[in-house]
Amino acid sequence: MLEKAFFIPFYPLLAFLVIVFFTRWKEKLSSGISIAMVLLGFLHSLAVLIAMLGRDGRPLELAYTFIDHPSIKLELGMWIDGLTAVMLMVVTIVSSCVQIYSLGYMKDDPRWSRYYSYLSLFTFSMLGLVIANNFFMIFIFWELVGLTSYLLIGFWFEKKSASDAGKKAFITTRIGDLGFIVGLMILVAYAGTLNYQEVFAKVTSGAIPANIIALAGVFVFCGAVGKSAQFPLHVWLPDAMEGPTPVSALIHAATMVAAGVYLVARAMTLFAGSASAAMVIAVIGMITSFIAATIALTQNDIKRVLAYSTCSQLGYMIMALGLYGVDLAHDPHTHSVGYYAGTFHLMTHAFFKALLFLGAGSVIHAVHTNDINDMGGLSKKMKITTTTFFIASLSIAGIFPLSGFWSKDEIIAATVHHPFFMTVTLLIAFMTAFYMFRLCFMTFTGEPRDKHRFEHAHESPKSMTGPLIALAFLSVFAGWVGLPWLKHGFSWFVYHGEHQVHHPNYILMVVSTVVALSGIGLAYLVYYKKAISADAIAERFKPLYKLSFNKWYFDEIYDAVIIKPVLGFTRVLWWFDANIIDGAVNGSGWLTVKWSDLKMWFDKYIIDGAVNGLGYICQAGSWALKFIQSGSVQFYALFMLGSAVGFVIYRVTPDGFYYYLAGVVILALARLLSRISRTNRLKTEPDIEG
Amino acid sequence: MLQYLALAAILFAIGVFGVLTRRNAIGILMSLELMFNAVNINLVTFNKYVGGDVLAGQIFSLFVIVIAAAEAVVGLAIVLLLYRNWRGIDVDRINVMKW
């Protein structure tokens, strides 16, 4: 099964093709095929995971080379190691849950089959992305997930905001992808290959200059910045929440946005080849994490809070990976846990964030609004949703012994050599716990603030609660594979360079638990007990509150700094186009017409004149020559005799021939003249012809 | 030999002159006969002096005489028809076969 792991992406692709070409009109069948195929992929991934566990995460590579040239080598292939195996599991599990959940959530949607075909296509792309063995393939699948993300964000394209959000996501990530492809070009130029292992070998052997490594690293990281919604390209992710909620859970929380983190982890050797590039990554991750956490504090749209939370958590992972790169660049035998922390958090986050989104979807399904100000008290009506949502929130806040606790702990542990990062990380952990529980308390506890909506609220159907329970289970237990006491835990399986064993850090565990609990406690006081007025705090720190509430004015700044000037510039270009370019085009057209008029005149009078003139000359010449045919037999005989005599003379003496000819012509002219005078004379005589 | 050739040349010249200048069609035919005879004398003469034992010249002149007789028949028939149509055989007047 391990050697056949490349089949995994093809199951959903098959589902996509079958739905698109055959079962489009049979909606139930379409969704059935899609779910069956993703479950098949899940089983296969499970087999691969077990096989990989059996070989302690030793990597396996299978590749077919289709371009092999000294300057560029391109392959189609798969690279399976611990990280790939884990990612395959994450993608197939979340995708399965989301597809089953969608059976309830997307009920009665007119574009049901299309929805499932998109989900299958997305799953195919994401699986292809994680299984690829070279940068070329990852880039192809990278763009494919971007495409499906665009299609699914704008799935309800009748809504202007949804189609706008799709475009925004597509264009923003494209900016990052431009950097990505530039980075790949640099790699091709200097390494001549895009295969991960070959590129990494060249990086570590010093075959590529250090500054080039840094440059390539930063450019490749641009791709991750776009896809993982990192500062400064994070603006698309909150808007992407216009898509259906299960899509948000699958693509914009659990898997696709994790692709950037995956890329950073996958290409760690490249980034670690330059301490400065790794530092850029760590700083970007930290800035994103901090900004997104502060924005999440004040948002009122349930999905937007989760979106900013996603941004923040992704920033966490990127920061941990970046710090690992920094440590590795300084000390090749570092004991930094950053790599393990980032990838471990990637996995646990996928489960609990998918759960949070699906829970939010369940709430929205019940009350038909996104605004948490219109919710409250829903725990009475929605027991399962509430329980699972709280489990996920505890997990993301990092409460012992849920999975988020173990991974978040490692991220904090990754910052131990960087005090500033550690401070910020703890601050973010505090804010995370606070805004998650603000969300929980405002949604599920207290008095219903909108009685009408509350009356109509109801628990979601089994197809929706089932995945919630499954994901809740994973949110609790998935992190246990990385328990610090395990000798052969997650860090033994997913590693960079060599197997790593790490040791529990009890001080950090206590600190992080205290931070998380204080965050939850503050939220409890403000939003549950109402001992502290939220409005009063907002009033007290008004500038900060406004900054957070308006998302640090990023959209406004981009609008003023980029969009407006670009639009102005395009208007100038339009003017240029309409007047100068079109003028030139029309002018050249006018010139062409005039020139052809000229040519027509030439044709008519010079060329045709020459042709007709030639014809006329021929006609005139033949008119003159026709008089030789006089009708007189004796004249003919004379002509023959003259010619024969002339020929003889010519053969005997060529010079004499001309004299002869001249004599003949003179005689002929004399004869002609006498003939004319005689004819005139004869006119007077009577005609005797009878 | 020269006297024979001179006779043939003179005869031929007389014949040509007759063909070109006679207005009477009969006269033209007669002049033609003179030219044939000049040619025949030429043939016989050359055969006699340079032809060796072969009698090609003599035989050829016999053929010419026969053909000339046949040609004279055709010519006289044309002349007869001309006379019927034009009431005369003056070739100057018979010039309608032109452009």
Full DSSP string of A403-464: HHHHHHHHHHHHTTT-HHHHHHHHHHHHHHHHHHHHHHHHHHSSS-S-HHHHHH--PPPHHH
Q: What are the distances in angstroms from CA A261 to CA A198, A229, A255, A344, B1? A: 21, 10, 10, 11, 129
Q: Does A619 touch chain B (CB under 8 A)?
A: no
pLDDT tens for chain B, residues 1 to 99: 889 999 999 999 999 999 988 888 899 999 999 999 999 999 999 988 887 778 888 899 999 999 999 999 999 999 999 899 888 888 888 877 776
Token pair, residue A444, equals 């599920």
**Under 8 Å between Cβ of A432 and A293:** yes
Any idea what the Cα angle at residue A11 is, between residues A7 and A13, rounded to 5°?
A: 110
What was the pLDDT predicted at A690?
45
Chain A CB contacts of B87 below 8 Å:
690
Q: Does B32 touch chain A (CB under 8 A)?
A: no
Question: Nearest CA of chain A to the CA of B35: how many Å?
Answer: 13
CB nearest to B98's CB, from A630, A634, A638: A630
**Per-residue pLDDT tens for A256-278?**
888 999 999 999 888 888 888 99
Chain B CB contacts of A690 below 8 Å:
86-87
CB nearest to A629's CB, from B19, B86, B99: B99
What is the residue whose two structure tokens read 């000819």? A661
Q: Alpha-carbon dihedral of residues A349, A351, A352, A353, nearest 10 degrees? A: 70
Rounded distance, CA A373 to CA A619, Å? 105
User: CA nearest A342: which of A236, A261, A448?
Assistant: A261
What was the pLDDT predicted at A541?
84
Report helix, strand or coil for A588: helix
Interface contact B28-A629, CB threshold 8 A: no
Chains A & B: contacts with CB separation below 8 Å? 28
Interface contact B20-A634, CB threshold 8 A: yes
- Residue A62: its H or E element: strand A60-69
**Under 8 Å between Cβ of A134 and A77:** yes
What was the pLDDT predicted at A501?
65
Q: Which of residues 624-643 of A touch B (CB under 8 A)?
A: 626-627, 629-634, 637-638, 641
What was the pLDDT predicted at A683?
59
**pTM of whole model > 0.90?**
no
- By C-alpha distance, the chain A residue nearest B18 is A634
Q: Does B96 touch chain A (CB under 8 A)?
A: yes
Chain B CB contacts of A626 below 8 Å:
99
State the burial class of residue A560 (Cβ atoms within 10 Å of its Cβ: 0-12, 13-18, 19+). Answer: exposed
Chain A CB contacts of B16 below 8 Å:
641
Q: Does A205 touch chain B (CB under 8 A)?
A: no
CB nearest to B95's CB, from A632, A637, A641: A632
Question: Nearest CA of chain A to the CA of B94: how many Å?
Answer: 7
Which residues are CB-neighbours of A357 under 8 A, at least 6 positions away? A245, A246, A248, A249, A253, A254, A303, A306
Report helix, strand or coil for A60: strand
Chain A CB contacts of B98 below 8 Å:
629-631
Amino acid sitting at position A53: L
DSSP state, A561? I
Token pair, residue A453, equals 């909506």
CB nearest to B96's CB, from A626, A631, A641: A631
CB nearest to A637's CB, from B20, B94, B95: B20
Rounded distance, CA A522 to CA A515, Å? 11
Question: Nearest CA of chain B to the CA of A632: how many Å?
Answer: 5
Q: What are the distances in angstroms from CA A395 to CA A113, A412, A474? A: 34, 15, 10
Rounded distance, CA A120 to CA A20, Å? 11
Rounded distance, CA A101 to CA A388, Å? 14
Query: Which domains are assigned to chain B?
Result: 2-86 (1.10.287.3510)
Interface contact A690-B87, CB threshold 8 A: yes
Amino acid sitting at position B49: Y
Residues of chain A with confidence (pLDDT) below 50: 690
**Under 8 Å between Cβ of A363 and A337:** no
**Per-residue pLDDT tens for A90-141?**
999 999 999 999 998 888 888 889 999 999 999 999 999 999 999 999 999 9
Chain B CB contacts of A689 below 8 Å:
93
Interface contact A626-B97, CB threshold 8 A: no
Phi, psi angles (nearest 5°) of residue A22: -120, -50
